[in-house]
Amino acid sequence: MVIRERLQETASRLWADGTGWILVVISVGWLLSLGTRLIYPVLIPEITLEFRIDYATAGITLSVLWLGYALMSLPGGVLADRVGERAVLTGALLVGVLGIALVVTAPVFGVFVAATFVLGSGLGLFGTTGTTILADVYDEGATTAIGLSQVVGNVGTILLPVIAGLLVAGIGWRLGLAYVLPAFVVVIAGLWLIVPHRTSPRAGGADSSWRRTISRVGATFVDRSLVLIIVAMSSLAFVYQGLTGFLPVYLIDVKALSHPLASVLFGLMFVGMMIGMIASGPVAHRIGKRNAMIGFAAVSTPPVLALPYVDSLAAIVPLVMCAGLMGGFFPVSMTYVIRFIPDDIQGSVFGVVRTLFNGVGVLGPPIVGLLADMGYFDVGILVLGGVGILAIGSSLFLPRIPR
């Protein structure tokens, strides 16, 4: 009964004053953003065959996707502060539509890589602004709202790649990506109709000088706590991107699992991520944001380190799911870092933060891919686990902030 009452209270709070529709449309946007990026690992076997590339090159291609995502996080935040959040969100998904269209019509590998960068750029513009809107709208309930939006996003990471895999098997990899285009169009319309023009003050208030804004953004990064949280977020982003980029291939090549079984286990990892994200708000509320970040990083890193040492399916399944619990780290860390940022430059500073941690994360796939090509796939996984330890250590030195 108590749990039911708390769930009803949380739902009422999230839906108050019509804000629930904002959460819904942004969450579906996250579903497309996260799910579309995770279609790529499913396409890798067919792409490597068609364009005759190795795993290291495939890893670089994944990094190009994430690099576009990381680089556009900064201008996405700056533009949101200047022109308004709604325009940035709809523009971001329009760029995403353009990127998908270019990818699925790419005649040669060079065009495919360039189009991949365009797609990543559009999704990167969406990420920063989608998060800051929820932080603005929900204030103290932001961790729960961001966590729920990313839970919906991770439904996309399970659902969209599975559908893509079926389409790839029957028709080809190009349709395995193109099928999401109609959903993008529907969400673009929903964002324009539902999201307010602005949810935060215009950058700089009356003094809208670009120079003054840039100076204030730079001054924010002298804060030791902000530097530590960026290190922690960057470390776990490296683990996340490296693991999601190559887990299916690793399970097939090293653990000798079938392609369908590897795909199922890949989905189970995202089930773990969803569990972590759902738990992130209540856990942060009960034990504090810093302790929650330490806990999620500490529970998800050892399974990554253990993965090379087990071969039985009975052991691999729980390790993969527990590794996915790192998903609970990100909603907490995002609301934690926003507490250090002034409201009127929130998008700009958070954009820099996202650019930094996603920029470090793009190194994960090519490093794992290179080691795999050299015959050291297990070492690549251990490198990911070692970097995860850095996330734990950095979080330990963070100050406590109000729950």
3 belongs to a structural domain: no
Cα–Cα distance, 334 to 148 (Å, whole number): 13
401 belongs to a structural domain: no
210 belongs to a structural domain: no
Contacts of 351 (CB under 8 A, 6+ apart): 73, 74, 75, 76, 77, 78, 80, 128
pLDDT bin (cut points 50, 70, 90) of residue 3 is low
85 belongs to a structural domain: yes
Closest among 283, 286, 91, 82 to 201, alpha carbons compared? 82
Number of structural domains in the chain? 1
Percent of the chain with pLDDT over 90: 31
Average pLDDT over residues 384-396: 94
206 belongs to a structural domain: no
pLDDT of residue 82: 74
127: domain range?
Answer: 11-193+216-396
329 belongs to a structural domain: yes
Kindly report the CATH number assigned to the domain that includes residue 276. 1.20.1250.20
**Range from 5-14, 61-70, 175-184, 246-255 that averages highest in pLDDT:** 175-184
Of 57-61, 196-200, 254-258, 384-388, which range is least confident?
Answer: 196-200
Of 23-27, 132-136, 203-207, 297-301, which range is least confident?
Answer: 203-207
Instruction: Using the predicted structure, report yes or no on whether residue 402 has a pLDDT greater than 60.
Output: no
Higher pLDDT, 2 or 235: 235
23 belongs to a structural domain: yes
Amino acid at 257: L
Q: How many residues are given for the chain?
A: 403
Question: Are the beta carbons of 152 and 101 closer than 8 angstroms?
Answer: no
pLDDT of residue 299: 96
Q: Report pTM.
A: 0.74
Average pLDDT over residues 313-330: 93
142 belongs to a structural domain: yes
**CA-based angle 194:196:197, to the nearest 5?**
130
b/e 123-154 (16+ beta carbons within 10 angstroms → b):
bbbbbbbbbbbbbbbbeebbbbbbbbbbbbbb
pLDDT of residue 202: 60
pLDDT of residue 206: 45
pLDDT of residue 126: 84
Instruction: Using the predicted structure, report yes or no on whether residue 231 has a pLDDT greater than 50.
Output: yes
Percent of the chain with pLDDT over 70: 84
Higher pLDDT, 298 or 169: 298
Average pLDDT over the chain reads: 83
Rounded alpha-carbon distances, angstroms, from residue 302 to 172, 176, 199, 262, 313? 37, 34, 40, 20, 17
pLDDT bin (cut points 50, 70, 90) of residue 361 is confident
pLDDT one-digit tens code per residue, 172-210: 888 889 999 999 999 999 999 888 877 665 655 444 555
Amino acid at 93: L
pLDDT of residue 162: 78
Instruction: Using the predicted structure, report yes or no on whether residue 6 has a pLDDT greater than 60.
Output: no
Rounded alpha-carbon distances, angstroms, from residue 266 to 155, 263, 293, 322, 341? 13, 5, 23, 12, 36
pLDDT of residue 167: 83
Higher pLDDT, 7 or 18: 18
Of 21-35, 89-103, 117-131, 299-313, which range is least confident?
Answer: 117-131
Instruction: Using the predicted structure, report yes or no on whether residue 235 has a pLDDT greater than 90.
Output: yes
